[in-house]
Structure 1
Amino acid sequence: MTTAFSWLAWLLAGIIILLTTRNPLLLLLILILLLALGVRMTEPGNRKRWLRQNLSFIGTMLFLSSLINFIFTHSGNTALFSLPDNWFLIGGKFTLESLLHGTINGLVISSLYLTFTLFNKALSVEQLTHLIPTAFYPLTLITTISLTFFPSIQERTAQIKEAQMIRGNPMKKLSDWLPILIPLMVTSLENAVQLAESMTARGFQVQDEGQNSPKALILLILSTFLVFSGWLLSLFSYPTWVSWALYLIAFLIIALIFLTLSKKVHIVHLHKDQWQKSDIFAIILFGLVFIFMAALIVSQNRDFLSFTPYPTLSFPTLPLAAWLLGLVPAIPLLLIPNHDHH
């Protein structure tokens, strides 16, 4: 897996799985596999540090999520202790079920965090910007500039600070940092002017009138109306498939708008992703998983992914289908190279 679209398919499949399950065993399996994938994608010398940092975040998230739900949610039959009911917010019984429910929420948040972390780790800035539709190429340009803004500011600040220390400025008090501001502002303005001149020379100030098509605006308003209508019908006793059909039509209209506008913009990418068999296999597989999960959501037939500790705590079960879905986020382990072999 080397292309941005294969990792995007992995991201979407992982998100829809994580957002539709509350089974703690499945969430724990996914979390462990995501950690294993992150270790695999990290350089051997940095693996311990990466694992330690993420385990620290996961532990903190699980603790806070469990504690907050344990304190403010007083549902369940397995009471550990209780406080007077007249105590504001925290009064009532403290149950084991509310503690486990908070832990499940922490597992979901931690898994989502790791999913986006690995997605960002797998792709370069250039690959991430390529995922933005060509119709929004100004947004891509602004995003690229923004991503390089803070590193360049830090680099110039370090250079100016080093020059000030060579001149005898101890840089210990707040007033010692004032001589840095003016050189930093001057160099930043110079770089901004140079960037503006370069963009003007390359024609970024030229706007194509064809891109401001009223048809695109009308279709966008229509798609918004379809989404609103689908949501409104879902509030009444209409079949679920009617709402999802309207959502699908709206999505297709928006995709058509992006495709039409993208064809009017001609951009040459100097570095293109090289598609491999593993990328095609990954996109097909993750696409099938996404369609399968969407079908489960529409049909409301996902009991094997559901679990609630209320009202009485019971041990969760994990059917074979849930096991197979839990292995989906770990598929890149089979499709990416190991850093140990480099």
Structure 2
Amino acid sequence: MSPLPARLPRDLHPVAWWLWALGLAAGASMTTNPLLLGLLVAVASLVVAVRRSDHPWSRSFRIYLWIGLAIVVIRVLFRILMGGGYGTRVLFTLPEIPLPDWVLDVQLLGAVTQESLLAGLYDGMRLATIVICIGAANALANPKRLLKSVPPALYEIGTALVVAVTVLPQLADSVRRVRAAQALRPGPTGRVGRLRRFLVPVLEDALERSLQLAAGMDARGYGRSAGLTVGQRRVTGALMLGGLIGVCIGVYAVLDTTAPRYLALPLLLGGLLVALLGMANAGRRVERSRYRPDRWRAPEIVIASAGLLVGALLRQVSRSDLDTAYPSLLAMPEVTLLALLAVLLGALPALVAPPAATVSAREAARDTAPVGAAA
């Protein structure tokens, strides 16, 4: 009996990776437990290490890790700078800087307690985890193929989307290229001189390459729709603006417990419906063919469902088990079985996703393919 054929390397649908990452980020926003947040970062790092490709944007995940570390450090330092005196367990005391009387409830330095440092650490870890989860999506999803999957109504702002989505992934590739170029020529030896010599070309190259891609799309007529009448533009604008106003009022009414309940959800749903109608009306006027469109298969469905399920389960934990989701600053954080399973579910793409379409994976697939398969 011949062995089962290995899965062919391919790039997954970029929306599946983004839904998975957004599910992890939503779950991280619903807890301050450092154990759960650390596990979420480990899960995202594992999936990126196993399933990322050799494209330039795949190297951007390391930048997000450094950004997350900087967020935690800055958050803790602000707790110390703005006074971390609330609490009972004083760790050390810094000379307090006196402030005018009109500055109420604000102090600089002073006594620093264990509770204030842990509060800053937990808040910083939550924000850093959200940033790292978004960075995992940027490292795994092809940003160019992601633009092919946006609704037709958003094609007209495709240039701005290209610059926003590709500038940070291009930054990682620019770092590699600038380092290789500067290694071949001498330069300043001082720390400030080396930083300026390195930082300016990296930022300029990353932004210039993103703008070149956007200019190429604009030159090919990406997102343009001709033959629009004044009435069509006004109808589309009215629908989009009315939907946005309805969504804003509905979200405010949902969050405000004093608002009438019979207006909260109907306004929110009505605003979403009107906005969708406006997007559908704008999308019908955009005619564009797609070469080899991305299709949803079983791995995409499983990966997107796993990410959304992580967010749903951690939301349930935040509602039913406050001690686990928001641990006390005076006790050791704990993790329940449900919370642990919810986080570990996010590592499912490492097992389900097919191999990434790297150069080595494509060569291995070509070598192991049966004779005549290419025909």
What TM-score do you get using the length of structure 1 for normalisation? 0.70
Does the 8 Å contact 2:243/2:270 carry over to 1? Answer: no
Alpha-carbon separation, structure 2, partners of 1:28 and 1:305:
14
Q: Is the counterpart of residue 276 in structure 1 residue 297 in structure 2? A: yes
2:147 to 129, 149, 155: 129
2:228 to 208, 212, 217: 208
Alpha-carbon separation, structure 2, partners of 1:264 and 1:51:
37
**What SS does structure 1 have at the residue aligned with 2:302?**
helix
Offset of residue 319 of structure 1: 1.4
| Equivalent residue number for residue 87 of structure 1 | 98
Does the 8 Å contact 1:34/1:111 carry over to 2? Answer: no
Alpha-carbon separation, structure 1, partners of 2:217 and 2:61:
42
Does the 8 Å contact 2:85/2:116 carry over to 1? Answer: yes
Q: Is the counterpart of residue 221 in structure 1 residue 231 in structure 2? A: no
| Equivalent residue number for residue 177 of structure 1 | none
Offset of residue 271 of structure 1: 3.1
**What SS does structure 1 have at the residue aligned with 2:326?**
coil
Q: Deviations over 1:158-213 (max 9, x none)?
A: 9xxx9xxxxxxxx99xxxxxxxxxxxxxxxxxx99x9699547x994724237514
Does the 8 Å contact 1:223/1:249 carry over to 2? Answer: no
Give the alignment of 1:104-119 within 5 angstroms. Answer: 104-119=122-137
**1:277/1:257 CA distance change after superposition, 3 Å:** same
Does the 8 Å contact 1:83/1:90 carry over to 2? Answer: no
Alpha-carbon separation, structure 2, partners of 1:197 and 1:231:
38
Alpha-carbon separation, structure 2, partners of 1:203 and 1:323:
44
1:324 to 324, 341, 363: 341
In structure 1, runs of 5+ residues without a counterpart are 163-170, 173-190
RMSD of aligned alpha carbons: 4.4
The residue identity in structure 2 corresponding to 1:307 is: Y
1:35 to 45, 65, 77: 45
Offset of residue 286 of structure 1: 3.8
Alpha-carbon separation, structure 2, partners of 1:28 and 1:275:
31
**What SS does structure 2 have at the residue aligned with 1:80?**
strand
Offset of residue 79 of structure 1: 0.8
Identity of aligned residues (%): 19
Offset of residue 229 of structure 1: 4.9
| Equivalent residue number for residue 102 of structure 1 | 120
In structure 2, runs of 5+ residues without a counterpart are 1-10, 100-106, 182-186, 189-211, 365-375
Offset of residue 279 of structure 1: 1.1
The residue identity in structure 2 corresponding to 1:208 is: L
| Equivalent residue number for residue 85 of structure 2 | 74
2:322 to 303, 313, 323: 303
Number of residue pairs matched by the alignment: 302
Offset of residue 118 of structure 1: 1.6
Q: Deviations over 1:126-165 (max 9, x none)?
A: 22212432112121245447878998xx99xx9xxx9xxx
**What SS does structure 2 have at the residue aligned with 1:118?**
helix
Instruction: Name the structure with the higher helix share.
Output: 1
**1:41/1:251 CA distance change after superposition, 3 Å:** same
**What SS does structure 2 have at the residue aligned with 1:94?**
strand
Does the 8 Å contact 2:236/2:282 carry over to 1? Answer: no
Alpha-carbon separation, structure 2, partners of 1:12 and 1:246:
25
Offset of residue 306 of structure 1: 2.9
